[in-house]
Amino acid sequence: MKRIIRFSRGNLTALVFSLLVVTSGIAGYFSRGGFNLGIDFRAGLIQEIQLAPRAFSLSYTGPGNAVISMNNTVLSIAISGVGVKGETYNYVLGDYNTLGSFVQGVDQIEGIAASSGLPGSTLFRHLVLDALSAPSLGEAPYWIHYLPADAPAVAIEDVRSALSGLGEPAVQVLGEGPERRFMIRLQDSDIKGDFNAAGISSALDRRFGEGETAVTSSNYVGSRFSKNLTSQAFWLLGATLLLILIYASIRFRPQYATGAVLAIVHDALVMVAFIVWTRMEFNTTTIAAILTILGYSINDTIVIFDRIRETRRIYPGDSFEIVMNRSITETLGRTFITTLTTMLAVVSLYVFTTGAMKDFALALLVGLVSGVYSTIFIACGFVSLWEKKFKRSAAAEPAETGT
C-alpha cells in the first residue's frame, strides 16, 4: 500500500506563511507607491523609436507629388498629380546588399535626387522611416534611416539615462537587442511648456548622436483611456473569480468552491507581492500572466477535488482528513510532472527572451510554484477546516436536543 503523506499537518504553518507573504505584499504596495505601472496604464505621449543612423536623403523637384511608403520588405515611391502619369516605383529591400546599390536604384527615378554621405559598400539590415516626417517628398531632404548589419545592442538603462531630463518616462524594449527598438511613454505631468512629439528623439540624439533616432510611431493616450484600461483589468479579474466560484459550486459543494476561489485569490496576491517588491512593470502582459496562473491553479485544484470525491466513495468510513491526504498523495506525481514540464518551457522562455516576455516568464514561474502550494494547503486546507467544523456542529446537535 502506498504511504500516505499527511499534508494536513502543515495547514496551520502554511496559513501563517501565506498571511505573512500577502501582508508583506499589501504593505509593500502602500509603502512603495503602488505598482510600477507600465506603458499600458499611463496617460501621455507614447512613441516607438529605433536607434538607427541616417542612411541617405531623398528630394523631389519634378511635377506632381511624390509620396514615400515602406513595409518590412518593400520601399515604394508613388508619383501622381495633375498632368503627371501616375506611377509607383517598388524597391524590394532584399534585392540590395549595400546602401550604394539602393541609392543608385532610387536615383534612376526622374526628378528624384538621392544622396548619402556613407560609403557605397555599407551593409544594412533594413531601412527605417521616421513617422514624424511627412511622407511627401519635396526640395528639402527627406532622411531615411538604416540599421547597420553589425549594429550593437543598446541597453535600456542607457535610453532611460538619456531621457532623465524629461521626468520619469516608462521605457520598454521591443524585439531583440540588436534591433535597438524601444517603446517610450511620457506621462501627462511630465509634458510641459513647448514640449512636442519630437522632444524624445531630440533627447536621444543628444545622447547617441545627431540623426541617430528614428520615430517609427507616435501616439497620444488620454487619461480616460488609461483609466478605462485599469478598471477593465480589475473587472476581468473579478469576473474570472465569479465564474470559477459558480463552476466549482455546480460541480462540487459550496465549501469546495469557496476553497478554490480562496486558493486563486491567494495566488493572485502572491504574484502582486512579488511584482511590488521586485518593481516589475505592471502592464497588460502582467495581467495575462496572472490570468494564466489562475487558470492553471484552478485546473490543479479541480483535479484534486475530483479525486477527493472519488476517494470518499471508496472509503466512506474514513475521516475527511485521511481522505484528503490520500487524494493529494495519489495525485502528487501527476502534479509534479505537469508542473515541472510546464516550468521547463517557461524557463526556456525566460532564458531566451528579453523585455516584457522575460518578465512574463518570471511571473509565471512564481505563479506555478504558488499554484501547487495553494491547491494543497489553501484550497484543501479550507475544505478540511470546514468539514471539521461541520462534523463538530453535527455531533453537538443531539446533545443539545437531549438537554
Residue type at position 117 = G
At which residue does the C-alpha cell 459550496 appear? 254
Are the C-beta atoms of residues 73 and 125 closer than 8 Å to each other?
no
Structure confidence by residue, pLDDT tens digits, 201-236: 888 888 888 888 888 888 776 655 556 666 777 787
Question: How many structural domains are present in the chain?
Answer: 2
Could you tell me if residue 140 is inside a domain? yes
Range with the largest mean pLDDT of 23-27, 83-87, 137-141, 164-168: 23-27
Could you tell me if residue 1 is inside a domain? no
Structure confidence by residue, pLDDT tens digits, 173-195: 887 777 888 888 877 655 655 45
Residue range 309-317: average pLDDT? 87
* Three-class DSSP labels, 54-94: EEEEEEECCCCEEEEEECCCEEEEEEECCCCCCEEEEEEHH
Q: Rounded to whole angstroms, how far apart are CA atoms 247 and 229?
A: 27
Looking at the fold, whether 164 and 217 belong to one and the same domain comes out as: yes
Measured CA distances, 97 to 72, 102, 125, 148, 244 (Å) = 15, 8, 9, 12, 56
Q: Rounded to whole angstroms, how far apart are CA atoms 387 and 318?
A: 13
At which residue does the C-alpha cell 505598482 appear? 35
Strands 65-70 and 136-137, by their bridges, are antiparallel
Structure confidence by residue, pLDDT tens digits, 67-114: 998 887 888 999 988 777 888 989 888 888 888 888 888 888 888 888
Looking at the fold, whether 15 and 62 belong to one and the same domain comes out as: no
* Of residues 81, 80, 54, 78, the one with CA closest to residue 91: 78
**Torsional class of 382: left (φ above 0), alpha (ψ -120 to 50), beta (otherwise):** alpha
Looking at the fold, whether 213 and 317 belong to one and the same domain comes out as: no
Looking at the fold, whether 275 and 188 belong to one and the same domain comes out as: no
Q: Output 390 or 166, whichever has higher pLDDT.
A: 166
Q: Is the pLDDT of residue 348 over 80?
A: yes
CATH number at residue 369: 1.20.1640.10
Q: Provide the pLDDT for residue 216.
A: 85
Can you read off the three cell numbers belonging to residue 194?
A: 513647448
Looking at the fold, whether 143 and 282 belong to one and the same domain comes out as: no
Could you tell me if residue 403 is inside a domain? no
* Of residues 117, 147, 137, 110, the one with CA closest to residue 56: 117
pLDDT band at 399 (very low <50, low <70, confident <90, very high): very low
Looking at the fold, whether 48 and 181 belong to one and the same domain comes out as: yes
Q: Provide the pLDDT for residue 43.
A: 66
Domain final residue pick, 201, 221, 241: 221
Looking at the fold, whether 194 and 52 belong to one and the same domain comes out as: yes
Q: What angle do CA 162, 213, 44 make, to 5 degrees?
A: 65
Looking at the fold, whether 204 and 104 belong to one and the same domain comes out as: yes
Looking at the fold, whether 215 and 270 belong to one and the same domain comes out as: no
Residue 359 belongs to domain spanning: 7-40+224-397
Domain final residue pick, 173, 197, 221: 221
Q: Is the pLDDT of residue 397 over 50?
A: no
Looking at the fold, whether 35 and 132 belong to one and the same domain comes out as: no
Looking at the fold, whether 102 and 244 belong to one and the same domain comes out as: no
Q: Is the pLDDT of residue 47 over 70?
A: yes
pTM given for the model: 0.63
Looking at the fold, whether 77 and 26 belong to one and the same domain comes out as: no
Domain final residue pick, 200, 221, 242: 221
Could you tell me if residue 402 is inside a domain? no
